[in-house]
Amino acid sequence: AHKKQQYQVLEEIGRGKFGTVFRCFHPSSNQFYALKLIHNRLLTDAADRHCLEIEAKAMIFLSPHPNILKIIDAFQDGETSTIVLQLCQPRTLFDRIADGPLLEPHAASLIKQLLEALTHCHALALAHRDIKPENLLFDDGNNLKLSDFGSAEWFGEGRPMSGVVGSPYYVAPEVLMGREYDEKVDVWSSGVILYAMLSGFPPFYGDSAAQIFEAVLRANLRFPTTIFRSVSAPAKDLLRKMICRDPSRRISAHQALRHPWILSGGVKSG
Ligand code: ADP
Ligand code: MG
Ligand code: MG
């Protein structure tokens, strides 16, 4: 029997560009998982098929890591491609931010877990390229899990990345400039997430994607006093180092883990 028949597909729990995510049950292990189903006919060109292939390959290559979503299985038949994933809580970081700003210790704990995941990816020469709150999930133990490696790409010496990928609010300016770029694009996106966690708003916004892109390209980072009055100086210092327009001067994920605000757990001193 085909592998697909080992899983009982239950209700829909998420949706993306090419596929749909369902909760599923695997009777032989008595476990519930998430099943990401991609319709092959939606994968029109080679680039799209590449995305699917790299998604499963990247997740297998990166596992196991406490902050990277675990992949259980991946298989294809004529019409569909399926990735079976560890099942997470229904609420992503997007939903948590939508409830309002987070306290600094909470934000520091979450961004530390994201930086741990990114340090691991970058050390293995993989950039995620689609870091955004919808792609940050939580397991039963409330651990942050980086997921959705469909935009990931290998990089390295003599292998710069190019191509516009990512989401308007979170995309780094060098990606929009159409130049070659490196893994620091993930640090920029993580900085934008940290800003949104502490204030409830993204640092660069507009009424259309084009307007958001303009704001990202200006990269004029501001801390409006009404919102940021209560945010600590070390938190703002880390934000400036992550949301830095020049990627060569931008902090790395590894360095950011050693930043005083992260080391103090976001606890204000004095
Ligand atoms: P896409 O590549 O189309 O963006 P994602 O892999 O990001 O697809 O999944 C889309 C949405 O489905 C996620 O934003 C999340 O809400 C939900 N989802 C994905 N994987 C899981 C999972 N393992 N557990 C729970 N929910 C998930
Ligand atoms: Mg996604
Ligand atoms: Mg994706």
Per residue in 158-170, pLDDT (tens digit) is 888 988 888 899 9
Q: How many angstroms separate the CA atoms of 3 and 94, rounded? A: 33
Distance 51 CA to ligand 3 centre (A): 8
99 in Cβ contact with 29 (< 8 Å): no
Closest ligand 1 atom to Cα of 15 = 10
What are the backbone angles phi and psi of residue 29, rounded to the nearest 5°?
-105, -5
- Which pLDDT score, from 0 to 100, does residue 157 have? 81
Cα separation, 26 vs 149, whole angstroms: 23
Per-chain mean pLDDT for the chain = 94
- Cα–Cα distance measured from residue 164 to residue 184, given in angstroms and rounded to the nearest whole number: 14
Give the residue numbers annotated as catalytic, written as ranges.
130
Cα separation, 111 vs 121, in Å, equals: 15
Tens of pLDDT, residue by residue, the chain (270 residues): 688 899 999 999 999 877 899 999 999 999 999 999 987 777 777 777 667 789 999 999 999 999 999 999 999 887 888 999 999 999 999 999 999 999 999 999 999 999 999 999 999 999 999 999 999 999 999 999 999 999 999 998 888 898 888 889 999 999 999 989 999 999 999 999 999 999 999 999 999 999 999 999 999 999 999 999 999 999 999 999 999 999 999 999 999 999 999 999 999 765
Surrounding residues of ion ligand 3, Cβ less than 5 A: 148, 150
Write the ipTM: 0.99
Strands (E), 129-254: 136-138, 144-146, 153-154
Cα(first)–Cα(last) distance of the chain, in Å?
64
Q: What's the pLDDT at 3?
A: 87
pLDDT tens readout for residues 212-261: 999 999 999 999 999 999 999 999 999 999 999 999 999 999 999 999 99
Pocket of ligand 1 (CB under 6 A): 13-14, 16-19, 21, 34, 36, 69, 85-88, 92, 134-135, 137, 147-148, 150
How many Å lie between the centroid of ligand 1 and the Cα of residue 14? 5
pLDDT at 38 (0 to 100) = 87
- What pLDDT, on a 0 to 100 scale, did the predictor assign at position 1? 64
